[in-house]
Amino acid sequence: MAISALIIDDEQLAREELMYLLDSVGGVDVVAQGANGIEAVDLIEEYHPDLVFLDVQMPGQDGFAVIQRVVERNRAGKPVAALPQFVFATAYDQYAVRAFDVNAVDYLLKPFDRARVLEAVERVRVRLAAGGSAGAAAPDAQSQLDRLLQLLDRQEGRPQGAEPGRPPAKLIVQAQSRLLLVDQAEICFAAIDEGVIRVVTRAFEGQSKCRTLEELMELLDPARFWRAHRGFVVNIDQIREVMPWFKSSYQLRMNDKQQTEIPVSRAQTKRLRELFNL
């Protein structure tokens, strides 16, 4: 019997490559594909697949956030169905440890390798044979969900039972051919220009994979980052100087190497005055 599967990845070429390899491996029926974390949660609820190939780095919600959302929704439902098996897809092997910490059956490094895809599928077959189909209710499903949610909370650095949804402490920034994990405290500001989001730290400049500043804001700490202008998000702790400008407006001089000057929109002027008691 074929394994029912979803492929979730924000890169179309990655989805097509994995689909091609799964076709060559055989025994896997890809019932649907998704391009982001929101689609992933909806598709899992709709299809109840045996297996989900899940990209780690996606805009809005990463792969770990997807699992947490599924876990939380399952906890609220009755009866609780067993979770699907998860295989993470990532360009970073350091995510492997975290993937296994949240009970993923395997992980695949990009670019995909047919032998590793086959190995991951076989691992899933073994798990499904031992534990039954993903859609079947398990007697201890609730306790399994509780344990997984605790692991996710621990991975995110939250105290057990704390409110979920806290943004990750680090952000992925592409600088030339490198993909760097950057502490949010080091980010000075982000700006969007012709659909490309530029992320500027005190040491270097790179790009975010997010498509909009709204998506980026979902990944940033709201206590630290502020949308000063429709084209700019600034780190409040990295503002070097607040400069009065024309018609009671302001500009911000940031703490990056270029000491970039960023306008404050009229709509955000009141917020600026509140922040700094102007």
Where is the domain boundary, 107, 129, 155?
155
Q: By C-alpha distance, which of 70, 61, 53, 60 is closest to 19?
A: 53
Number of domains in the chain: 2
Domain with 214 in it:
170-276
Count the residues in the chain: 278
Q: What per-residue confidence (pLDDT) applies to 198?
A: 94
What whole-number distance in Å separates Cα of residue 233 and Cα of residue 80? 40
Residues 151 and 264 in one domain: no
Residues 126 and 49 in one domain: yes
Assigned domain for 122 exists = yes
C-alpha angle 156-188-202 in degrees, rounded to nearest 5: 105
Assigned domain for 271 exists = yes
Name every residue whose Cβ is closer than 8 Å to that of residue 102 and which is 6 or more positions away in sequence: 64, 67, 86, 148, 151, 152, 155
Assigned domain for 161 exists = no
C-alpha angle 254-219-168 in degrees, rounded to nearest 5: 105
Confidence of residue 158 (pLDDT cuts 50, 70, 90): very low
Helices (runs of H) and strands (runs of E) counted in the chain: 8, 15
What whole-number distance in Å separates Cα of residue 36 and Cα of residue 12? 11
Residues 145 and 82 in one domain: yes
Q: Is the peptide bond before 79 cis (omega within 30 degrees of 0)?
A: yes
Confidence of residue 167 (pLDDT cuts 50, 70, 90): low
Judge whether residue 135 has pLDDT over 70. no
Hunting for tokens 């929101």 — which residue is that?
A: 38
Would you say 138 and 82 are in contact if contact means Cβ atoms under 8 Å apart? yes
Where is the domain boundary, 129, 155, 181?
155
Residues 176 and 133 in one domain: no
What whole-number distance in Å separates Cα of residue 241 and Cα of residue 94? 38
Assigned domain for 63 exists = yes
> What CATH number corresponds to the domain at position 232?
2.40.50.1020
Q: What per-residue confidence (pLDDT) applies to 246?
A: 77
Residues 233 and 95 in one domain: no
C-alpha angle 216-177-38 in degrees, rounded to nearest 5: 30
Residues 45 and 97 in one domain: yes
Residues 123 and 181 in one domain: no
Where is the domain boundary, 155, 180, 200?
155
The burial of 74, by beta-carbon neighbours within 10 Å (0-12 exposed, 13-18 middle, 19 or more buried), is given as buried
What whole-number distance in Å separates Cα of residue 114 and Cα of residue 120? 10
What pTM was estimated for this model as a whole? 0.52
Residues 185 and 145 in one domain: no
Residues 205 and 119 in one domain: no
> What CATH number corresponds to the domain at position 91?
3.40.50.2300
Assigned domain for 162 exists = no
Q: What would the mean pLDDT of 23-47 be, rounded to a whole number?
A: 93
Judge whether residue 51 has pLDDT over 90. yes
Assigned domain for 102 exists = yes
Residues 112 and 244 in one domain: no
pLDDT digits (tens, 9 = 90+) for 84-129: 899 988 876 655 656 565 667 888 888 889 999 999 999 999 988 8
Q: What per-residue confidence (pLDDT) applies to 168?
A: 59
Residues 74 and 147 in one domain: yes
Q: Mean pLDDT in the chain?
A: 81
Residues 129 and 238 in one domain: no
Assigned domain for 165 exists = no
Assigned domain for 237 exists = yes
Which DSSP letter does residue 44 get? H
